[in-house]
């Protein structure tokens, strides 16, 4: 149908066709010009009125009603709805445009929902997989103890200690999952304060002292660092960031290696960098490193007690501060993780 085809023009064309056809038949049959002319005028008039009425009543008004119902979803303004009556010249054209726009919008929404669904499925799969490993280990030790090892003094304590280690791992995992869901759900608003980042780092280094000793890793501050570095941030969350990054530097660093911590004044921000001289990370992994459950070498990282959530938590925390986190790494040379914080 042509653009701007009104019920009147459609009715006129239909009436004209009916009038021409009927007049031809009458003219051939009666051979009377007057009767033919009268027939032409009467048929054209009646057909025009009937078609116009039918189209207006049963097609156009109904389509207008459909259009108004669609529009009601978009606006609740009665003035706009009233103005619609005047503005719709061709309801068929308008409705088809509206339906097309609606389809495009819907297909975008469906795409997004599908992505979310895949993400949810993948996340659930990862969570259950991560939980299964320590649970199966605890179950294994308990069964072995119940099957007789409980009375064997040589192994009973060892198995209980191992089961207890797996329980700790389980709790750690659940804590990390809780952290992630709180950070994502905005349930954990930032508690911003001014504090000394150097002092906080020293506290963290004390916490991880044993881990570093076990791996014979030395942790140093860069010589040119300022003695006091005041930042404006959520102290307990930044403690978590430092713990995760320093623990990773130890875990994936070289045995007998060195970790360096540096602070750099970046005008409005302070950049903190933690560098290790460990195995490094291949370039192809870098873009996905901060995703939940992403590991460069899943088996080895899990052996080290890694869940693949640590860096995702770090990224969430830094982004909640509207700051940035980045990583540079060279395979076999080491990695440097850096994050910025607002200068206090």
Residues near ligand ADP, by CB under 6 A: 244, 248-249, 252, 276, 278-279, 281, 289, 294-297, 301, 306-312, 335
91 or 306, CB closer to ligand ADP? 306
Residues with Cβ within 8 Å of 67's Cβ and at least 6 positions away in sequence, in order, are 84, 88, 91, 94, 95, 98
Q: Please report how close the Cβ of residue 130 comes to ligand ADP at its closest, in angstroms.
A: 10
Nearest of 151, 150, 241, 157 to residue 203 by alpha carbon: 241
Nearest of 297, 286, 289 to residue 313 by alpha carbon: 289
156 or 326, CB closer to ligand ADP? 326
Q: Please report how close the Cβ of residue 280 comes to ligand ADP at its closest, in angstroms.
A: 6
36 or 301, CB closer to ligand ADP? 301
DSSP-assigned letters across all residues of 185-220? TT-S---EEEEEHHHHHHHHHHHTHHHHHHTT-EEE
Tokens of 9: 């023009």
Q: Please report how close the Cβ of residue 320 comes to ligand ADP at its closest, in angstroms.
A: 17
What are the distances in angstroms from CA 260 to CA 226, 270, 277, 284, 336? 14, 16, 9, 25, 9
Cβ density class 281-312: b for 16+ within 10 Å, e for less: beeeeeeebbebbbbbeeeebbeeebbbbbbb
Q: Please report how close the Cβ of residue 281 comes to ligand ADP at its closest, in angstroms.
A: 5
- The DSSP H or E segment spanning 106 is helix 91-146
Residue nearest to ligand ADP according to CB distances in the complex: 306
The C-alpha atoms of residue 241 and residue 222 are separated, in whole angstroms, by 19
Q: Please report how close the Cβ of residue 308 comes to ligand ADP at its closest, in angstroms.
A: 4
297 or 319, CB closer to ligand ADP? 297
**Cα-to-chain-centroid distance, residue 300:** 28
Q: Please report how close the Cβ of residue 84 comes to ligand ADP at its closest, in angstroms.
A: 55
302 or 343, CB closer to ligand ADP? 302
**Widest CA span of the chain, in angstroms?**
126
**Sign of dihedral through CA atoms 29, 30, 34, 38?**
negative
Q: Please report how close the Cβ of residue 91 comes to ligand ADP at its closest, in angstroms.
A: 57
144 or 336, CB closer to ligand ADP? 336
68 or 165, CB closer to ligand ADP? 165
Residues with Cβ within 8 Å of 55's Cβ and at least 6 positions away in sequence, in order, are 7, 10, 11
Q: Please report how close the Cβ of residue 176 comes to ligand ADP at its closest, in angstroms.
A: 8
Three-state SS at 292: coil
15 or 278, CB closer to ligand ADP? 278
**For strand 325-330 and strand 269-276, is the pairing parallel, antiparallel, or unpaired?**
unpaired
56 or 126, CB closer to ligand ADP? 126
Q: Please report how close the Cβ of residue 241 comes to ligand ADP at its closest, in angstroms.
A: 11
């Amino acid at each position: 149908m042509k653009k701007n085809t009104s019920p009147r023009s459609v009715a006129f064309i239909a009436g004209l066709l009916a009038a021409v056809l009927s007049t031809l038949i009458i003219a051939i049959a009666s051979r009377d010009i007057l009767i033919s002319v009268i027939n032409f005028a009467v048929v054209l008039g009646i057909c025009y009125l009937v078609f116009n009425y039918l189209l207006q009543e049963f097609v156009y008004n109904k389509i207008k009603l459909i259009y108004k119902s669609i529009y009601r979803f978009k606006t609740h303004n009665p003035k706009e709805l009233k103005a619609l009556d005047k503005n719709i010249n061709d309801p068929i054209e308008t409705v088809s445009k509206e339906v097309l726009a609606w389809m495009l919008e819907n297909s975008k929404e469906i795409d997004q929902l599908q992505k979310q669904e895949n993400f949810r499925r993948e996340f659930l799969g990862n969570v259950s997989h991560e939980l299964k490993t320590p649970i199966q280990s605890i179950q294994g030790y308990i069964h072995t103890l119940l099957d007789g090892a409980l009375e064997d003094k040589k192994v009973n304590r060892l198995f209980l200690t191992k089961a207890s280690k797996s329980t700790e791992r389980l709790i750690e995992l659940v804590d990390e999952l809780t952290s992630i869901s709180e950070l994502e759900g905005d349930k954990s608003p930032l508690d911003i304060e001014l504090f000394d980042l150097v002092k906080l780092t020293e506290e963290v280094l004390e916490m991880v002292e044993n881990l570093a000793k076990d791996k014979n890793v030395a942790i140093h501050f860069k010589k040119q660092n300022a003695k006091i570095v005041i930042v404006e941030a959520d102290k307990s969350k930044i403690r978590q960031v430092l713990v995760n990054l320093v623990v990773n530097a130890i875990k994936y660093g070289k045995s007998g290696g060195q970790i360096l911590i540096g602070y750099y004044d970046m005008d409005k921000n302070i950049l903190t960098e933690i560098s290790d001289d460990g195995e490094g990370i291949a370039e192809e992994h870098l873009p996905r490193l901060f995703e939940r459950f992403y590991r460069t070498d899943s088996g080895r990282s899990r052996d080290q007690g890694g869940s693949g959530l640590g860096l995702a938590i770090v990224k969430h925390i830094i982004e909640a501060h509207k700051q940035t986190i980045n990583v540079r790494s060279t395979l076999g040379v080491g990695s440097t993780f850096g994050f910025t914080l607002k200068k206090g």
